[in-house]
Structure 1
Amino acid sequence: MAADDQPEHPVYKLAALDQEFILGDSMRGARFMMEYAKAEEFLRRERVRTTLVAFGSARIREDGNPWQARTYAAARTFGRIASERGGALCEDGQWRDNVIATGGGPGIMEAANRGARDAGAVTIGFNIQLPHEQAPNPYITSQLSFQFHYFAMRKMHLAMRARALVIFPGGFGTMDELFELLTLSQTGKGHHMPVVLYDRDFWTRIINFEALADAGVISPDDLKLFEFADDPEEAWESLLRLGLEVPPKP
């Protein structure tokens, strides 16, 4: 290769401007770090100190069957209640607490983000790249609507600021997040996190938690890591009873 051709060769590009290099296998660790750093920077910029995470199915619709419509409405109401009472509303320059955070998609995630918007609060969406079902819902605060490639980093951001968790009915993804965060509490690897499962009939029909304890694969005390609730007010009261910290009103 002639010396004059060197500036045209991909090797000569600045590493930070070389997209092919950045997206290559050797830079996977760097991309992982960048996904952490970008979300962290914008969360701090918006003064988000703690979050209250709401999980649930992307397939539950406001215009679905009566059970779906009730569940959607409950998630929306809960998002409003938590935002009004939890510390997400604050004066300029103050840190925000218990900001509603979701996986960013439709269904229950949309409903919870929508409820926060009803209260006039900022609200977070941690979206993930998926071939279907996942697009940011319109109720997420624009500067807090994130997109992740790596599930692990998305989960880390969902967990690291969370001070409570409300799990509405959902499928594999919802259960994945539920059991991961319960495991963090069970093992002491994470901070104390009140957990409420919304819709007792759904959850006790889908998962026999008592059978796990009876089989000896979890401790009976592990059943105290969460409570059930059947309306939004009950869910909020359960979180407070389980130790959710709410900043005093100014």
Structure 2
Amino acid sequence: MPDNAAQLASPSYRLAALDQDFLLSDPMRGVRFLLEYAKAEEALRTWGVRSTIVVFGSARVGEHGPGRQADWYATARAFGRLASERGGALGAMGPRDNVIATGGGPGIMEAANRGAFEAGAPSVGFNITLPHEQSPNPYATPELSFRFHYFAMRKMHLAMRANALVVFPGGFGTFDELFEILTLRQTDKAPPIPIVLVDESYWRAVLNFDALAEHGMIAAKDLELFQFAEDAEGVWTALLAGGVKPGGCIELQGAPTT
């Protein structure tokens, strides 16, 4: 009588949840997409993260970098601490609001997470797998440091709890995230959250927003979707004026959520 060794060794006999070859196959792409949503969602709920303040900016900015880099890093760090202390991220007895959330990597992201860390508050790092591997910075809360394969799911998690967006100088990746949120706001696919660009001289030098309106590529009122600030206090003041509530969610105006 033959034994059943071949059946036991067959990939088809593996439990589906433990079969990595199956889970990483092309037909399971949708399942992997769902898993990336569910894993981060469960952790954020466990930590009581109800809302966030998303901070974008270059991974190339150093604490002791040349030119204005050191100032940008210091401002992001100061803002991460200020927002965490005043916004409601420290509330251990209830939902945490205005928790700092970044892309999880170095540079501006590190600075913002570092400020939250120094305030004793949790912060989120939404990392992404890249060809040149991105390592998580050491200041995001370990239990809230995630890694995504899909940019789309990472962007969804960045947007869906955001009370505000603060954008520091950056390059292509920063532009991508900025225009993602601007487009959601322009099309009313996201709540009317405040968007603040730090260092007006930088943004005016690299992007001619006014020219877009002059050429009819955007409406003049679209220029009101964002504003500028120069330091941590200025950013916080702009966020409060834009509807951010310390210790609570933003005051929405009936717009659909992401």
TM-score normalised over the length of structure 2:
0.93
1:133 Cα deviation from its structure 2 partner: 6.1
8 A contact 2:58–2:108 mirrored in 1: yes
* Cα separation, 2, equivalents of 1:8 and 1:132: 36
Partner residue in 1 for 2:72: 71
Secondary structure of the equivalent of 1:243?
coil
Partner residue in 2 for 1:81: 82
Runs of 4+ in 1 over 6 A off after TM superposition: none
The share of aligned pairs that are identical, in percent, is 63
Gaps of 5+ in 1: none
Partner residue in 1 for 2:60: 59
8 A contact 1:59–1:106 mirrored in 2: yes
User: 2:252 aligned with 1:246, yes or no?
Assistant: no
Q: Which amino acid aligns with 1:186?
A: Q
Query: How many pairs align?
Result: 247
- Per-residue displacement from partner, 1:44-99 (whole Å, max 9, x unpaired)? 0000000000000000000211411111000000101111111101133x100000
- Per-residue displacement from partner, 1:152-183 (whole Å, max 9, x unpaired)? 00000000000100000000000000000011
Q: Which amino acid aligns with 2:66?
A: N
Partner residue in 2 for 1:230: 230
* Cα separation, 2, equivalents of 1:143 and 1:64: 30
Secondary structure of the equivalent of 2:33?
helix
* Cα separation, 2, equivalents of 1:186 and 1:125: 26
8 A contact 1:58–1:133 mirrored in 2: no
- Per-residue displacement from partner, 1:82-139 (whole Å, max 9, x unpaired)? 11111101133x1000000000000000000000111110000000011226210000
Gaps of 5+ in 2: 249-258
Partner residue in 2 for 1:5: 6
* Cα separation, 2, equivalents of 1:109 and 1:186: 25
Partner residue in 1 for 2:35: 34
- Per-residue displacement from partner, 1:192-231 (whole Å, max 9, x unpaired)? 1100000000000000001001111111110011100111
8 A contact 2:108–2:168 mirrored in 1: yes
RMSD of aligned residue pairs (Cα, Å): 1.3
Partner residue in 1 for 2:46: 45
Secondary structure of the equivalent of 1:182?
helix
The 5 A counterparts of 1:1-250 are 4-92=5-93, 94-132=94-132, 134-247=134-247
Q: Which amino acid aligns with 1:45?
A: T
1:247 Cα deviation from its structure 2 partner: 2.6
